[in-house]
Each structure stands twice: as C-alpha cells, then as structure tokens.
Amino acid sequence: MTRAFLRPDDVRDLVRDRLGTDRQVVTLDRLAGGTRKGVYRIGLDDGGSVVLYVWSAAENYWPVSTSTGTRRCCR
C-alpha cells in the first residue's frame, strides 16, 4: 500500500470552515513521529500555525495485524 499524504488543497476547506474565511493556508508540513496517525503543521497567512492530527488507514505506518493473540502493553 502506497502512503499518500495530505497536500495544502486538501485542508483549505477545513481551515476556512474552522478558522474563518480571513485565514488562508500557506504551508503544510508533515511532521515526523506519528506512526499511527498523520501529524501536520498548517502554516497560515497571518504567521500563525495549527497542528492537524489525521487518524486514517492511509497514514498508519504499521500493517494490519493478523495475529489472534492477546496484545500486551509495555510494562
């Protein structure tokens, strides 16, 4: 499965709906470290920025587990 990441055009409507029509997307950077989710910094035209978390199968680095065993957390 090829991982496809978001582009600035993919978040323009979200920014407009949540932050208002007076703020525009200038940059969109995918941040390192989110292996089960996509983490993006959206740069805005007023110099501000917001962080967007995307939980999606396309963003998940880990393959789907086929194990039927019980998963144990870190101890």
Q: pLDDT tens-digit profile of 47-56?
A: 999 999 988 7
Report the alpha-carbon distance of residue 45 to residue 12 in Å, rounded: 12
Q: Which helix (H) or strand (E) holds 13?
A: helix 8-19
pTM for the structure as a whole: 0.73
pLDDT-based confidence at residue 34 (cuts at 50, 70, 90): low
Order of strands across the sheet with 25-30?
25-30, 38-44, 49-54
The residue extents of the domains of the chain are 8-54
What is the mean predicted confidence (pLDDT) over 48-74? 73
